[in-house]
Structure 1
Amino acid sequence: MYSSNPKAHDDYSEEPPLSGTATGVPVSSSGEYYDSTQRAAFHIKSRARVPWSSGLFDCFSDMKTCCVTLWCPCITFGQVAEIVDKGSTSCGASGALYALVCCVIGCPCLYSCFYRSKMRQQYALRETPCGDCLVHCCCEGCALCQEHRELTMRGYDMTIGWHGNVERRNRGVTTAPSVEESMSR
């Protein structure tokens, strides 16, 4: 009933074999298989990374966002976080948490860099010009503006939040096209 091999039950760090017994999805005609964790890792690695739609220091291309971010970065962060979290946290809650981290620790970049990483994963963006935490630590305002611009370029209206964007898109899909009366054979 139990294996005499003590490693059989104690050590789960070994990777499963890629050939032999079928334990997942076939990936070739040679009989190789990937299990679900290997498939996920393969999919993430094989996904081509695309460049950001604007540069890190293109802050002044959108003066309104630049000014808001300069005087109250918690607003810009809250808007970005709500879209990246797909509405699971509100703009107000994310912005308030950002402000709290800023007041208590004095370094909100420790919180905001995780959202940059999450956003890059969602949209397969390149990690440029350097790591996410370093970008936020050195250029917090510019990083927030770049993330805001990226989401705007992808069609989000940052002022209405996630649920407003979903509602707007649903209205556009469910409405039937209008037919002009002047059309005839």
Structure 2
Amino acid sequence: MTTEMEVKGGASAAAEVGVSEEESLLMEGVALLDFDMLCSTVAMQAHKGKWGKLNDDNEEENLVSEHQNGGGVFRMWEGEIIYDCFDDRRVALQSTCCPCYRFGKNMKRAGFGSCFLQGSIHLILAVAALSNLLAFIFTRRRCFLYLAIVFTVSVGTYMGFYRTLIRKKFNIKGSDSSFDDCVYHLICPFCTLCQESRTLEMNNVEDGTWHGRGDTICIGTVSTKSPECVSMRKDSNDS
């Protein structure tokens, strides 16, 4: 009788230890957040001018539900236009040496037509602007200069128009003016094209669908831990 009571007491003690360990893990408040969701929260807070912790829990719950449903997520461009231009040297080289190919590839990723069609339109406008500029240099006729200006503005407007479409389609926070998008492509077209390419490639955009990075960040109430550490700790507790 005494042996049975001791066995029951040991089993109940082991069960209490297991429950207490599970409660301690829950009390740590470790949360896995999708990287795209985290960027969305930061962009929304920056847009509102509120950095830090959300003041209303309902806003956070609504943001999570909207993210899970695939809508209402605020995103950001990958890097600055000029300072982060050479983060991806392959994209920078393609945007500088063959911008028509890079632009067409971006349009295919974003779901705005085929790579060949969009790249051809960009190439025709660029060649027309360059040829008229060269004609003005050799002939000094103002009509060629006017045509060169018209085609240059057409290239910037065309690329800025599609930059606006990309920004609105994927809810990318930045300048909310279509005029600014055109100015970016007129002043610094290669760097602007690099930023768009990095954003589409790094977030796995294919055929107009934003798949996201797929990265996860593990945030705790007191300290930050990686998902591998949490899984290893859970496995050790289960064993």
User: Which band: TM-score by shorter chain?
Assistant: 0.5 to 0.7
Contact 1:101 1:111 in 2 (8 A): no
Structure 1 residue 114 corresponds to structure 2 residue 114:
no
How far the C-alpha of 1:48 sits from its partner, in A, is: 6.5
Aligned partners of 2:94, 2:78: CA distance in 1, in Å?
Answer: 20
Structure 1 residue 64 corresponds to structure 2 residue 110:
no
Contact 1:78 1:91 in 2 (8 A): yes
SS of 1:59's equivalent? coil
How far the C-alpha of 1:123 sits from its partner, in A, is: 1.2
Aligned partners of 1:141, 1:81: CA distance in 2, in Å?
Answer: 15
Aligned partners of 1:119, 1:60: CA distance in 2, in Å?
Answer: 22
Structure 1 residue 50 corresponds to structure 2 residue 95:
no
Aligned partners of 2:78, 2:88: CA distance in 1, in Å?
Answer: 13
- Structure 1 counterpart of 2:191, one-letter code: C
- Structure 2 counterpart of 1:111, one-letter code: Y
Any idea what the Cα deviations from partners look like across 1:10-63, whole Å, max 9, x if unmatched? xxxxxxxxxxxxxxxxxxxxxxxxxxxxxxxxxxxxx56432222112110110
Large movers: runs of 4+ above 4 Å? none
Structure 1 residue 141 corresponds to structure 2 residue 190:
yes
SS of 1:60's equivalent? coil
The root-mean-square deviation of aligned C-alpha atoms, in Å, is: 2.6
How far the C-alpha of 1:127 sits from its partner, in A, is: 2.9
Higher strand share: 2
Structure 2: unaligned runs, 5 residues or longer = 1-71, 129-150, 211-239
Counterpart mapping for 1:94-109 below 5 A: 94-104=118-128, 105-107=151-153, 108-109=155-156
Contact 2:77 2:174 in 1 (8 A): no
TM-score (norm 1): 0.54
Distance 1:150 1:89, change over 3 A: same
Higher RCO (CA < 8 A, seq sep 6+): 2
Any idea what the Cα deviations from partners look like across 1:151-185, whole Å, max 9, x if unmatched? 012113xxxx739x99xxxxxxxxxxxxxxxxxxx
Q: Hey, what does 2:103 align to over in structure 1?
A: 77
- Equivalenced residue count is 113
Aligned partners of 1:151, 1:115: CA distance in 2, in Å?
Answer: 13
Aligned partners of 1:153, 1:147: CA distance in 2, in Å?
Answer: 10
SS of 1:61's equivalent? coil
Aligned partners of 2:102, 2:198: CA distance in 1, in Å?
Answer: 10
Q: Hey, what does 1:126 align to over in structure 2?
A: 173
Flag the structure with larger Rg: 2
Higher helix share: 2
- Structure 2 counterpart of 1:72, one-letter code: C
